[in-house]
Chains A and B, each alone.
Chain A
Amino acid sequence: MSEQQTAVAEPTAPGKTILFEIQRQDTPESAPYMESFEIPYKANMNVISALMEIRRNPVNAKGEKTTPVNWDMNCLEEVCGACSMVINGRPRQSCTALVDQLTQPIKLEPMRTFPVVRDLLVDREGMFDSLKKIKAWIPIDGTYDLGEGPRMPERKRQWAYELSKCMTCGVCLEACPNVNDSTNFMGPFAISQVRLFNTHPTGAKNKDERLAALMTDGGLAECGNSQNCVVACPKGIPLTTSIAAMNRATTVQMFKNFFGSDHMVD
C-alpha cells in the first residue's frame, strides 16, 4: 500500500520547503515572540494548509519541538471572516492567501487592533457588540401578522447586495488608523451596515435609531477619511461611499433632531 491516503493528495516536491515567520503569543497578557517554521512544499497550498502542516508536526525551523500555532478558521472560502490575520504586513484572510503568490519568508501576525487570545487567534467580539449597538437587523416581530413588507427596487437591491457581503472579518478595522486603543471608533464596517439596513424598505422604519447610534461615542464622526478601509476590504465593499452617505444622512438627522421633525423615518 502506498503512502497516498486520499484521492486528491497534492504532489510533493522533494526537498522544496516553505519558510514561515510566525508571531506567537502564549497568553493574552504575555509578550509576543517570533518563531520560524520550515515545512515541506506542496502544490496549491494556502496559509491554512501550511498552518495545519505545522499543527501536524509542531517542530520549528531550528528542529526544536514546540507548541502548535493557534489560529481561527471556519468556512475556508472567504465568506466567514474568521481566519483573518496579517500576512506579509497586510491584513487578509489566510484561506485565500495562496503560498505560491506570497513572498517568502511568509510572515504571519495576529490583527493587533483586536485583543490577542493566543498566537494568531484574536477576539473580534467588539465588532459584534458594535452590530448590536447600531441595531444591524430588521425588526419584523409584532403583536399581529404584519404581512409582507414593501418591495425593494431591483436596482437598489443590486448595490445593497454588495454591502451585505460584509463578513465582519475585521480587516477594515486593522487597516484604519483611527481604530486603536485611544479611540472608541467602531470601524467602517458598522457604518456600512447602517447604510445596508437603512436602505431596506422595512429596515428604514427604524432608520433614525441606527443613525442615532452612529452619532454617539465611537460612531461615524471618528472617521478621518484615510480611506484605507475601501482598499483593504477583501469583499470590495464601497465602504467610503457608505461612510459619506451616512455623513449626509446624519447631517440631515442632526437638523431634524435639533428643530424637531415629523419626518424621522421617511
Chain B
Amino acid sequence: MVRENEFYWRRLHSLLGIIPIGLFVTQHLIINHFATRGAESFNTAAHFIENLPFIYFLEWFVIYIPLMFHAFYGVYLAFTSKNNVQRYGTFRNWMFFLQRITGVFLVIFIAWHIYETRIQKMFGTEVNFDMMADILSNPFMIVFYALGIIAATFHLANGLWSFLVTWGLAQSARSQRIVTYVTLVVFIALTIIGLRALFAFV
C-alpha cells in the first residue's frame, strides 16, 4: 500500500517541507532574532507567540504532525539511497548527499531541542531569554546549536530547490540553475539571521 502510493507520499513529503515546516522555521529564526535587541525584546516576542489563540492546535497541525511525517519518512528515504559522491563528485550529487546528512542530523538536533525547551515548559519551566542563555553557557551546546541552525537553513534552502523541481516548476537546466542561485541566497540570509540570534544569547 505504502509503495503503491509512494508518488503521493513523496509529493506530500516535499510539500510539507516547505509548507508549513519551512515557513515555520523561517518564522522561528526571525522571532529569535529579537534576541539581538536584548532580553526584554526577545521575551516579549516569545510571550506573544506563546499566547497566540489556538496555540495547541497550531502546534500540532503546523509543527508536530507535519514535522514528524517529514522527519520519519525522510529518514527512511535517506537510508534507502546509496550515495556515490566518490564516483560522481558533482555539485548536485553533493547537495543530494548533504540533504540526507543534514536531514538525519536535524532529527537528532530537533528532538534534543524540543526536549530542552517545549518539554521542559510542559514540566513548568519558563521559556525565555535566560533559559537559552543558560543552555548556551556550555561551549559544546553553542557548537551543537550552530550546527543545528546551519543544517536547518541548508536543508530548507536545498529543499526549496528540490521542491521547485519535484513539482515541475523549474524544468529547464537554466531555470534549475537560476533556482540554485536563488536558494543559495535564501541559505545565506537565513543562516546569518539564525547565527546572529544564537550569538545574542552567548
A245 to B19, CA, bound (A): 23
**Residues of B with C-beta under 8 A to A225:** 92, 95-96, 161-162, 165-166
Contact of B80 with A228 in the complex, beta carbons under 8 Å: no
Main secondary structure of the interface of B (DSSP, over half): helix
A177-B82, A177-B96, A247-B165 known; A241+B7 contact, CB < 8 A? no
Known: A217-B4, A228-B93, A244-B168. A254 touches B11 (CB 8 A): yes
The answer to whether A248 touches B93, judged by C-beta atoms less than 8 angstroms apart, is no
* Known interface pairs A231-B90, A244-B176, A248-B168; A177-B7 also in contact (CB < 8 Å): no
**Contact, CB under 8 Å: A175 / B87:** yes
Please encode chain B, from 56 to 91, with 1 for each CB lying within 8 Å of some chain A CB and 0 for all others: 000000000000000000000101111110011010
Known contacts A225-B96, A247-B167; is-contact A240 B173 (Cβ 8 Å): yes
Q: Is the CB of A4 closer than 8 A to any CB of chain B?
A: no
In the complex, are the beta carbons of A216 and B90 less than 8 A apart?
Answer: no
The distance in angstroms between the C-alpha atoms of A57 and B97, with both chains bound, is: 44
B residues 20-48 in Cβ contact with A at 8 Å? none
Give A84 Cβ to nearest chain B Cβ, in Å.
15
Interfacial chain A residues near B172, Cβ < 8 Å: 241, 244
Q: In the complex, what distance in Å separates the CA atom of A227 from the CA atom of B166?
A: 13
Given A180-B82, A224-B77, A225-B92, check contact A240 B7 (CB 8 Å). Answer: no
Q: Which residues of A contact B108 (CB under 8 A)?
A: none
Q: How large is the interface on A (under 10, 10 to 19, 20 to 34, 35 or more residues)?
A: 35 or more
Chain A residue numbers with a CB within 8 Å of B173 are 238, 240-241
Instruction: A87 to B135: give the CA distance in the assembly, Å.
Output: 53
Residues of B within 8 A of A251 (CB): 11, 167-168
Contact of B90 among A222, A228, A238 (CB under 8 A): A228
> Hey, which chain A residues are within 8 Å of B161, CB to CB?
225
CA distance A248 to B176 in the complex (A): 14
Which of B8, B84, B167, B171 meets A175, CB within 8 Å? Answer: B84
Task: Collect the chain A residues with CB atoms within 8 Å of residue B141's CB.
Answer: none
**B170 smallest CB distance to A (angstroms):** 7
A213-240 contact mask (Cβ, 8 Å, vs B): 1 or 0: 0111111111011111001100000101
Apart from A216-B6, A246-B168, A248-B171, list 18 A-B contacts with CB within 8 A.
A217-B4, A218-B6, A221-B10, A224-B77, A225-B96, A226-B96, A227-B92, A228-B90, A228-B92, A228-B93, A238-B173, A240-B173, A248-B167, A248-B168, A248-B169, A250-B168, A254-B7, A254-B11
